[in-house]
Amino acid sequence: MHSTLTEHARCLYGDEYRSTPECDCEHQEFLFVEKLTFADADSILAMMRELCPHVVDGYLPVWVRNLAYRLALLQRPDEPALMREAAENLWMHGPDWDDIAADLTRQADALEAR
């Protein structure tokens, strides 16, 4: 059993910076998505920052990145820095999500202006 969300993602998708560990776990994507869905924001952000530290890198699929940031933002809706990080990810892997990224940036600006 994977002890962390990061470890589970590393086994399933690989890691650009570390070798994929040997393990006997069942690597079905739906099991990872279930774990991601109910993970706390700290675990989600730890996974993103370890497996994709420079936004443009890492082997996580774009849809996993988008879902991860969406889930983290749902748990931390008032964090401008997180909104900007999510927006940066959307812009990097867009342009389909440029309008959402721009909206997140506007929300972050509004929160900081308070």
Q: What is the pLDDT of residue 113?
A: 95
Q: What is the pLDDT of residue 20?
A: 78
Distance of CA 88 to the CA centre of its chain: 12
Residues 6 or more apart whose CB falls under 8 angstroms from that of 48 comprise: 60, 65, 68, 69, 72
Q: What is the pLDDT of residue 3?
A: 84
Q: What is the pLDDT of residue 97?
A: 93
Angle at 66 between CA 79 and CA 78, to 5 degrees: 10
pLDDT in tens, the chain (114 residues): 788 999 999 999 989 988 877 787 777 899 999 999 999 999 999 999 999 999 889 999 999 999 999 999 999 999 999 999 999 999 998 899 999 999 999 999 999 999
Q: What is the pLDDT of residue 18?
A: 86
Q: What is the pLDDT of residue 89?
A: 94
Q: The pTM is what? A: 0.93
Domain boundaries, the chain: 5-113
